[in-house]
Structure 1
Amino acid sequence: MITVDNLSFSFPQKELYRNITFTLEEAQHCAFIGTSGSGKSTLIDILMDPERYLYEGKLEIDPTCRIGYVSQFLELDRSKETTVFEYIGEEFIKIQNEINVILTEMETSTDIEALLEKYQLALDAFDAMDGNDFESNIHKQLNLANLMKLRDVRVSDLSGGEFKLIQVIKEMLNSPDLMIMDEPDVFLDFENLNALKNLINAHKGMLLVVTHNRYLLNHCFNKILHLENMELQEFDGRYIEYNFSLLETKIELQELTIAEAEEIERNEIIIDNLRTVATYNSEASRGRALKARVRFQERLEARRLKAPFVDIKQPNISLDMDHELEEDTTVINVSNYGVAFDELLLENVNFEIKSTDKVALIGPNGTGKTTLLRDIFKNNHESIEIHADAKVSYLSQLQGEVLKDSNTILEEFIDAGFETYDEARSYLAHYGFEGEIVNQKIESLSGGEKNILQLAKVSASKANVLLLDEPTSHLDTYTQIALEKAIQEYKGTILMISHDFYSVVNGMDYVLIIDDKTIRKMTIKKFKKMIYAHHFDRDYLETEQNKKAIETKIELALKDNNFELAKGLLDELEGLIKLL
């Protein structure tokens, strides 16, 4: 239905794509991945409105192809009185009302012919939308997402996560040939994330979904588009299989690269020897031999393997701190805390966090997690006590709370305390912000780039207590993994709100979970079982843990250039992936 052939596109300050090629066909559920700022959202804009863009190459879209779209930035109109059912069924109800109006006019009109024609057109449109079953179809989708309880609730009363799911349901029921969703999972709690997974897996049409959520990537898609370093790779298969193929390629390339490097080094020695001989022997044959060797060396250098998809540059996230508190020091103490807005959210909340604790705060959307985190950061609530030697840094899910959109990236870090532009440039390079991009306004950055900047500011603060509100939102998977490593190595206190299952289980010591308007402590082991029990068979978690252990062994083998061991482990890994 959609063919992209050798498409290239640039902004004045940045080249985005260089001769990328891919197709989208019926029934494919395609995940669109790539590092933050690589141009995924721009490519979606080009697909939806190609006339707005001046690109090179060919873009062919079947003229009958209808495209539905769910944006990553959905605005909820709080003034609307529309119920969820009315909002989802808006197009159906509109045509249904039109048909009723025509029937009423027929009762008194003398121009029956014109009304009959109008009536037939409206009926055809209604039939094309499967209008006769629209009520039962809405109920099916609401039940699939476990949202039937919201049927008669006003849209204006929904949480952000609920509204995102309702938007997805609405677009799906309009039956587009291609449904595009740009990070539909951002900020969804675990229940809503599973609802989104169910909706995606039950959808019969073609899907193109930008997502960095490893849970969805592992369980929802049969095709991968990977955009990286201006190039695009197309893979037919699951994300878990795509990652395996990347690892397989990485082992092959690393082995070849080392062999090539050895050959280049041997050739360099021969060239040096020939040059030495040529200084005291000027025979023409010696000169020709030297030139031939130099040309051969140039060919070897030009042939060096480049791997944009297996050698992805991760940001160098390092969570440092100036002052380490003694072990077992109580850093945060919350006693009989409560919060309410229109209704009571939390009451009688009691917990304490020690100086080396890494804790995830978990709960459904709209239960007061962010409010609690802000109150801890502000430290002006009578129920909250912060240790006098605690230096606290805060990452907000509302990026404008921490970053000033009108600043350039450099200005933001000069404001944050860097003394010179050179110092700020050097620091920002570790996070992937190099060259002219540091002079861009923050408002022009992608959501992922803004969150990386927030992480850079948190790290620069050298605080010993980090309050992180959805730190993985908008981050590509490579940055998520870099953040997980930084969290594991950090020596201070972390309290993190997150709905990213992998970030929680890979980096946290335990979970504080919101349950019946209060908070209780839960071990990571129990948390894993709770999440997996509802969605997978009982062997799945153990198999996935074994997979992660083998991947770590392969990584260590590659560091030692032990390719035979890496290949043996790869066979073992392939067997586990088949089980998953």
Structure 2
Amino acid sequence: MIKVENLSFSFPQKELYTNISFTLEAGQHCAFIGTSGSGKSTLIDMLMDPERYLFDGKLEIDPDCTIGYVSQFPELDNTKEPTVFEYIGERFIQIQHDIQSICAEMETSTDLEPLLEKYQLALDALEAMGGDDFESHIHKQLNLANLMKRRDTKVADLSGGEFKLIQVMKEMLNRPDLMIMDEPDVFLDFDNLNALKKLINAHKGMLLVVTHNRYLLNHCFNKIIHLENREIQEFDGRYIEYNFSLLQTKIELQELAVAEQEEMERNDTIINNLRVIATYNSDASRGRALKARVRFQERLEARRIKAPFVDIKQPAIRFGMDHEMEDATVVKVTNYRVAFDELLLDHVNFEIKSTDKVAIIGSNGTGKTTLLRDIYKNNQDAIEINPDAKVAYLSQIQGEMLTDSNTILEEFIDAGFKTYDEVRAYLSNYGFEGEIVNQKIASLSGGEKNMLQLAKISASQANVLLLDEPTSHLDTYTQIALEKAIADYKGAILMISHDFYSVVNGMDYVLIIDDKTIRKMKMKKFKQMIYASHFDRDYLETEQKKRAVEMKIELALKDTNFELAKGLVDELEELIKLL
């Protein structure tokens, strides 16, 4: 259906692709992954409208291939007020209306031939969408996503997560040959994320989905396209199997690198000895031997294996703080209440200690962001912040904490850095190097903007962090780096997140929104609740064993014990088969 061959493309300030090639074929559910800013969204734009771009290479799309698209940032036409059914079935309803109009016109017209042609075209379009079964198809999708109860609700009254699912359904039911989705999971709660998983797995057509969500990656796709360092790698299989393949390659490359390093060190010793001899013996044969050894060393350097997909540099996220607070309450909420058109939260009471790491969990639209923002603003009697607390805030609305018209350098000068050189040195730890620091923040990807927020929070040296969906838009490598930074942090964290892995890997306990109030839940019970509703019965135990084996492999590689690492890889492979 789609073939890309030796494609190269650059922006004036950045080279994105160098001779990349891949194919998409009927029936494939493909995950499109890669670090933030690597060019995934640009490549999607290129597939949808190749005429807009000047590129080298070939981009072949079957002329009969229809493409559906779900945007990373869906927008609703506020001039219309459709119900959920009317929104999903808009095209179907329009075709039905066209058929009725044509039939009415045929009753009075004397020139039937053009009307019969229009009538047949409309019938063909209706048939392509599933014909008169279209309404039952909508109901089937709504039931699959547990949204049948919202059938006659105005779309404007849906939560953001529900609207994203409705948009996915609408595109799927239009039956495009290829459906492209750009981070459809962002900000979805656990139930909506599970609904998205069901919709993806039930879809019969070809899918290309940009996602960093590890839950979807592990459960929805049979092909991986990985874009990194201007190159692309294809893998036919599940994401968990792709990661396993990368781990095997990593072990092989590290073992080879150690052997090559030893060979180069031996060669260095020989070269040094030959140079010493050459200082007191000018024999020509000695000089030729030295030159030959130097050329051999250069060849060794040149043939070092470069593996852009195996050893991807993680950002060095570190949360420090000016001063620690010994066993103190840093945030206290008493009888908090919030209402807009309806009551969202009432009788909310909790407190956060100076070293607590806590996740707020609840469905989309239940008031989590409003609560976190109110704590940050600290202008309500129901909220008390310890006077020794220094609070930093990451917003899911990135424009709240970043100025789009600033360059990256200007943003950090405004944040208190003294010189541009100081900013450049600091941001290199977060993956911002070279000319990108002169770009306007408005031009950055969602992941890059979230990364800048994390860099600003880290620089603030705060002892209380309020994080609203910090993993949204972040690639999986940065998510793992963030989890490590959270684990190492000595202060308090209150985090809204729908990313199951970030919650269970980094938080001490959760605050669950239930029946318009909040209750505390231990992490063990939370894990059991999520696994019971979203995973097979033995998944939790197998996942924990897998994680333990992976940690053992990491330690073995640090010790360059490759035989142990290879033995553990066999054990890991058996566990992956169970997941």
Paired residue for 1:209?
209
Does residue 268 in structure 1 map to residue 268 in structure 2?
yes
* Contact 1:35-1:476 at 8 Å conserved across structures: yes
Query: Secondary structure of the equivalent of 1:521?
Result: strand
1:452 to partner: Cα distance: 0.3
1:25 to partner: Cα distance: 0.7
Q: Structure 2 CA distance, aligned partners of 1:104 and 1:508?
A: 64
Paired residue for 1:64?
64
Give the partner amino acid of 2:158: L
Does residue 238 in structure 1 map to residue 238 in structure 2?
yes
Query: Secondary structure of the equivalent of 1:120?
Result: helix
Give the partner amino acid of 1:49: D
Paired residue for 2:343?
344
Q: Structure 1 CA distance, aligned partners of 2:114 and 2:256?
A: 75
Paired residue for 1:291?
291
**What are the equivalent positions in structure 2 for 1:414-433 lying under 5 Å apart?**
414-433=413-432
* Contact 1:76-1:160 at 8 Å conserved across structures: no
Paired residue for 2:174?
174
**What are the equivalent positions in structure 2 for 1:399-438 lying under 5 Å apart?**
399-438=398-437
Q: Structure 2 CA distance, aligned partners of 1:392 and 1:115?
A: 68
Give the partner amino acid of 1:247: L
Paired residue for 2:257?
257
Moved more, 97-106 or 279-288: 279-288
**What are the equivalent positions in structure 2 for 1:290-309 lying under 5 Å apart?**
290-309=290-309
**What are the equivalent positions in structure 2 for 1:371-450 lying under 5 Å apart?**
371-450=370-449
Paired residue for 1:331?
330
Moved more, 494-503 or 420-429: 420-429
Q: Structure 1 CA distance, aligned partners of 2:556 and 2:451?
A: 30
Does residue 570 in structure 1 map to residue 572 in structure 2?
no
* Contact 1:403-1:454 at 8 Å conserved across structures: yes
**What are the equivalent positions in structure 2 for 1:365-376 lying under 5 Å apart?**
365-376=364-375
The CA RMSD over aligned residues, in Å, is: 0.9
**What are the equivalent positions in structure 2 for 1:153-232 lying under 5 Å apart?**
153-232=153-232
1:429 to partner: Cα distance: 0.7
Query: Secondary structure of the equivalent of 2:186?
Result: coil
Give the partner amino acid of 1:183: E
Q: Structure 1 CA distance, aligned partners of 2:70 and 2:176?
A: 12
* Contact 1:79-1:156 at 8 Å conserved across structures: no
Paired residue for 2:484?
485
1:305 to partner: Cα distance: 1.4
1:473 to partner: Cα distance: 0.2
Paired residue for 1:29?
29
Query: Secondary structure of the equivalent of 2:577?
Result: helix
* Contact 1:77-1:156 at 8 Å conserved across structures: no
Query: Secondary structure of the equivalent of 1:305?
Result: coil
Q: Structure 2 CA distance, aligned partners of 1:578 and 1:314?
A: 28
Q: Structure 1 CA distance, aligned partners of 2:486 and 2:574?
A: 31
Query: Secondary structure of the equivalent of 1:93?
Result: helix
Give the partner amino acid of 2:204: K
Q: Structure 2 CA distance, aligned partners of 1:363 and 1:392?
A: 23
1:112 to partner: Cα distance: 2.8
Q: Structure 1 CA distance, aligned partners of 2:99 and 2:80?
A: 25
Q: Structure 2 CA distance, aligned partners of 1:90 and 1:448?
A: 33
Give the partner amino acid of 2:239: Y
Count of residue correspondences: 579
Query: Secondary structure of the equivalent of 2:312?
Result: coil
Paired residue for 2:553?
554
1:288 to partner: Cα distance: 1.5
Q: Structure 2 CA distance, aligned partners of 1:309 and 1:295?
A: 29
* Contact 1:390-1:465 at 8 Å conserved across structures: yes
Q: Structure 1 CA distance, aligned partners of 2:443 and 2:433?
A: 16
Deviations 1:237-263 (A, max 9, x none): 000000001111101100100110110
Paired residue for 2:41?
41
* Contact 1:181-1:210 at 8 Å conserved across structures: yes
Deviations 1:182-217 (A, max 9, x none): 000000011100010000000000000000000000
1:388 to partner: Cα distance: 1.1
Q: Where does structure 1 differ by over 3 angstroms across 4 or more consecutive aligned residues?
A: none
Q: Structure 2 CA distance, aligned partners of 1:54 and 1:79?
A: 36
Give the partner amino acid of 1:407: N
Paired residue for 1:117?
117
Give the partner amino acid of 2:560: N
**What are the equivalent positions in structure 2 for 1:97-136 lying under 5 Å apart?**
97-136=97-136
* Contact 1:222-1:238 at 8 Å conserved across structures: yes
1:271 to partner: Cα distance: 0.9
Q: Structure 2 CA distance, aligned partners of 1:81 and 1:138?
A: 19
1:284 to partner: Cα distance: 2.0
Q: Structure 1 CA distance, aligned partners of 2:349 and 2:117?
A: 69
Q: Structure 1 CA distance, aligned partners of 2:195 and 2:299?
A: 54
Q: Structure 1 CA distance, aligned partners of 2:117 and 2:449?
A: 54
Paired residue for 2:76?
76
1:521 to partner: Cα distance: 0.6
Give the partner amino acid of 2:181: M
Query: Secondary structure of the equivalent of 1:345?
Result: strand
| Structure 1: segments with no counterpart, 5+ residues | none
Deviations 1:273-323 (A, max 9, x none): 111212222222212111111111110000111111111011100000001
* Contact 1:464-1:492 at 8 Å conserved across structures: yes
Q: Structure 2 CA distance, aligned partners of 1:117 and 1:224?
A: 44
Q: Give the TM-score of the pair, scaled to structure 2.
A: 0.99
* Contact 1:405-1:442 at 8 Å conserved across structures: yes
Give the partner amino acid of 1:344: L
Give the partner amino acid of 1:185: D
Q: Structure 2 CA distance, aligned partners of 1:115 and 1:322?
A: 77
1:335 to partner: Cα distance: 0.8
Q: Structure 2 CA distance, aligned partners of 1:310 and 1:121?
A: 51
Paired residue for 2:459?
460
1:475 to partner: Cα distance: 0.2
1:391 to partner: Cα distance: 0.5
Moved more, 490-499 or 555-564: 555-564
Q: Structure 1 CA distance, aligned partners of 2:314 and 2:477?
A: 6
1:79 to partner: Cα distance: 4.0
Q: Structure 1 CA distance, aligned partners of 2:306 and 2:576?
A: 27
Deviations 1:6-55 (A, max 9, x none): 11111111011111111111100000000000000011111111111111
Q: Structure 1 CA distance, aligned partners of 2:120 and 2:80?
A: 32
Give the partner amino acid of 2:500: F
Query: Secondary structure of the equivalent of 1:430?
Result: helix
Deviations 1:469-505 (A, max 9, x none): 0000000000000000000000000000000000000
* Contact 1:189-1:363 at 8 Å conserved across structures: yes
Q: Give the TM-score of the pair, scaled to structure 1.
A: 0.99
Give the partner amino acid of 2:316: N
Q: Structure 1 CA distance, aligned partners of 2:113 and 2:65?
A: 33
Q: Structure 1 CA distance, aligned partners of 2:122 and 2:436?
A: 52
Q: Structure 1 CA distance, aligned partners of 2:78 and 2:366?
A: 19
Paired residue for 2:537?
538
Q: Structure 2 CA distance, aligned partners of 1:280 and 1:84?
A: 90
Paired residue for 2:511?
512
Does residue 321 in structure 1 map to residue 294 in structure 2?
no
Query: Secondary structure of the equivalent of 1:187?
Result: coil
Q: Structure 1 CA distance, aligned partners of 2:114 and 2:396?
A: 56
